[in-house]
Amino acid sequence: MVFMGAPADRASTDAPSLDRHASRQHDAWLVARFEIFHNPRCGKSRQTLARLTAAGITPVIVEYLVEPPSPQRLQALLRLLGFDDPRQLMRTKEPVYAALGLARVSDPQQLLAAMVANPILIERPIVIKDGKRAVLGRPPENVDGLL
């Protein structure tokens, strides 16, 4: 293994420090990365975040109401969640859902655009592990499958 900035002909007396460095790097690779699409005003979202924290996890918090995800990011989340229809990730009881007439919309791209423009429509919380697996934290115990 070659480290940037480390001479290839490092003296054997330096090997232990290099091994410690490699060990620290290796351990960092083993730490899972968690993200939570979080609404701090939502009780289920707060409960899910508390559940992660109690498990010793400090997730990256994505306040999606402040910075909505792109349509591409929403499509990726749908895939990770195993959802076929964007409505599976929508809060269909929100007043804006009815106001926009989204029940009559059949185009998935239009539904995604509506979620980007109105992020309150995005169901929460969504917890993602290592960008490879995701669950909807409803109920909060769903997150246990990622721990």
Catalytic residues, which ones? 42
Give the full edge-to-edge strand order of the sheet including 126-129.
60-62, 34-37, 126-129, 133-136
CB within 8 Å of 126: residues ≥ 6 apart? 36, 37, 77, 81, 89, 134, 135, 136, 137
H or E segment and range at residue 128: strand 126-129
